[in-house]
């Protein structure tokens, strides 16, 4: 293993400053757990440090980083499943926090309610949710997502369309529930 | 274009990544096809709203923990011969990559442990060992490196973070001081320059700082920064800067408000 020199430390610091928020948002969107998400962000940076030799400079850095982030997320999900059975069900039954009520600035034009949209996104199956999080919150290009997921870019685009349609369905169900 | 093809383009349409010709074709299709137009518009509005979901921010503890662990990690690997358990591990360092990987994990775990004992605000139960003292030095060293490397970044927000790290290094650190002075004199972004002027308070005891600050006033092109520099000299009660302030107050090329402020400062420093 190569030594962790001062150059690496400085590089890690810059990477951390640049990406910690994005990664945190990615994990929070997927897991809805702040504490766990901070652990995962930490984990990703030290995995990058350990596996830095595996980075190919011709590759997209973002795609490489999110590859590591996905692995970290899968590993922790497996570990959690082994430790606590049924934690996902518990998460689903947990009442929505009060802050989810729409504030004045959160109600946007065209009658769309951001808080409701957030709940709809939370209920989306995880593969669809991840795709939208990467495209919308992490600003990843479809090409980068394709390289991350190991599929054709055309496939990503079709999946994005399907994910949006599924999101809209959930969103409408939720708004009907609320008015009922 | 048929409906099938148009569905393939929706994702690009929302992300505004369609080529010009494709966009024309797409527009022509939705002008005649109600179903596709509804998808493009209704789902498109939802697509736009997604960006309005407020981002959740990590707690400040994440950053502290990251830098502590990074210091411990580096310390754990580099200062290995100092502690006997590390000597033993290194002596046993296997040749096979698979085992090396496993050991790296173990070392990381140890590093994380050290990181926690050295966390600020947490009182160590045992008296401070040599190990922890060395680690403290390491953390300071690392703040210096982080500050220096962030100050050189392309993005202004990263350079701003570099300035906030610079405040955390000991005031005797001449390398960080000269990086800050360079930032004050040369940074393209006025916010970064202003922040760096504030950070110089920390280094005010050094005559190098005072002289450089006084000389910087004439070089700046923004009255905002010039006034901040003059205020800094007043805060530091730097009487030696009087000749420089005199020059500024009578230099016709300098903004009138700045000249006025220099006169005020001269009065204050007397
Ligand atoms: Zn159509």
CB-based contact, B100 to chain A, within 8 Å: yes
What percentage of chain A has pLDDT greater than the value 70?
79
The answer to whether residue B83 scores a pLDDT higher than 50 is: no
Asked if B135 and B112 count as a contact pair (C-beta separation under 8 A), the reply is: no
Q: Which domain holds residue A15?
A: 1-101
Of A54, A80, A101, which residue sits at a domain end? A101
> Using a CB-CB distance cutoff of 8 angstroms, which residues of chain B are in contact with residue A108?
49, 52
Looking at the fold, whether A81 and A112 belong to one and the same domain comes out as: no
Look at B10 and A161 and tell me if their CB atoms are within 8 Å: yes
Domain positions in chain B are: 3-46, 171-269
The answer to whether residue A43 scores a pLDDT higher than 60 is: yes
Fold assignment, B171-269: Transcription Elongation Factor S-II; Chain A (1.20.930)
The answer to whether residue A162 scores a pLDDT higher than 90 is: yes
- Cα A129 to ligand 1 centroid, rounded to whole Å: 26
The answer to whether residue A142 scores a pLDDT higher than 80 is: yes
Of A85, A101, A117, which residue sits at a domain end? A101
Looking at the fold, whether A34 and A75 belong to one and the same domain comes out as: yes
Count up the domains in chain A and report the number. Answer: 2
The answer to whether residue B182 scores a pLDDT higher than 70 is: yes
Looking at the fold, whether A120 and A136 belong to one and the same domain comes out as: yes
Looking at the fold, whether A69 and A49 belong to one and the same domain comes out as: yes
Asked if B233 and B211 count as a contact pair (C-beta separation under 8 A), the reply is: no
Confidence (pTM): 0.63
> Using a CB-CB distance cutoff of 8 angstroms, which residues of chain A are in contact with residue B66?
16, 20, 41-42, 45
What was the pLDDT predicted at B217? 93
- CATH of residue A30's domain is 1.10.1740.10
What was the pLDDT predicted at A45? 92
- Cα B83 to ligand 1 centroid, rounded to whole Å: 71
Looking at the fold, whether A87 and A150 belong to one and the same domain comes out as: no
Of A101, A134, A149, which residue sits at a domain end? A101
Looking at the fold, whether A142 and A156 belong to one and the same domain comes out as: yes
Confidence band, pLDDT 50/70/90 cuts, at residue A2: very low
- CATH of residue A162's domain is 1.10.10.10
Distance separating alpha carbons of residues B16 and A175, to the nearest angstrom: 28
């Amino acid at each position: 293993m190569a030594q962790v020199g001062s150059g690496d430390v400085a590089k890690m610091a810059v990477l951390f400053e640049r990406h910690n928020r994005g990664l945190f948002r990615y994990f929070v969107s997927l897991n809805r757990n702040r504490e766990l998400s901070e652990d995962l962000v930490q984990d990703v940076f030290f995995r990058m440090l350990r596996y830095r030799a595996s980075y190919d400079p011709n590759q997209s850095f973002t795609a490489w980083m999110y590859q590591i982030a996905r692995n970290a997320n899968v590993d922790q999900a497996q570990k959690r499943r082994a430790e606590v059975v049924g934690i996902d069900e518990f998460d689903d039954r947990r009442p929505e926090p009060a802050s989810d009520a729409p504030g004045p600035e959160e109600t946007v034009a065209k009658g769309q309610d951001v808080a409701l949209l957030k709940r709809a996104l939370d209920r989306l199956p995880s593969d669809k949710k991840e795709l939208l999080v990467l495209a919308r919150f992490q600003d990843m290009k479809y090409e980068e997502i394709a390289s991350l997921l190991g599929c054709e870019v055309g496939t990503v685009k079709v999946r994005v369309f399907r994910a949006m349609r599924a999101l809209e369905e959930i969103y409408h169900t939720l708004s009907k529930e609320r008015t009922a | 274009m048929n409906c099938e093809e148009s569905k393939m383009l929706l994702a690009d349409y929302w992300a505004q990544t369609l080529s010009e010709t494709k966009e024309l074709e797409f527009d022509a299709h939705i002008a005649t096809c109600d179903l596709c137009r509804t998808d493009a518009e209704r789902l498109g509005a939802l697509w736009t709203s997604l960006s309005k979901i407020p981002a959740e921010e990590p707690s400040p503890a994440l950053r502290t923990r990251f830098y502590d662990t990074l210091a411990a990690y580096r310390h754990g690997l580099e200062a290995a011969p100092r502690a006997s358990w590390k000597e033993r591990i290194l002596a046993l360092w296997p040749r096979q990559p698979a085992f090396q990987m496993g050991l790296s994990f173990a070392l990381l775990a140890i590093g994380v442990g050290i990181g926690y004992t050295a966390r600020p605000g947490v009182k160590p139960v045992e008296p401070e060992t040599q190990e922890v003292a060395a680690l403290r030095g390491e953390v300071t060293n690392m703040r210096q490196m982080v500050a220096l490397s962030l100050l050189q970044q392309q993005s202004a927000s990263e350079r701003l973070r570099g300035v906030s790290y610079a405040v955390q290094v000991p005031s005797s650190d001449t390398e960080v001081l000269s990086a800050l002075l360079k930032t004050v004199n040369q940074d393209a972004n006025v916010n970064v320059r202003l922040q760096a002027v504030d950070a110089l308070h920390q280094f005010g005891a050094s005559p190098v700082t005072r002289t450089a600050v006084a000389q910087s006033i004439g070089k700046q092109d923004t009255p905002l920064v010039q006034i901040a520099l003059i205020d800094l000299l007043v805060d530091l009660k730097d009487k030696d800067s009087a000749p420089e302030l005199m020059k500024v107050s009578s230099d016709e090329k300098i903004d009138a408000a700045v000249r006025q402020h220099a006169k005020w400062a001269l009065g204050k420093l007397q």
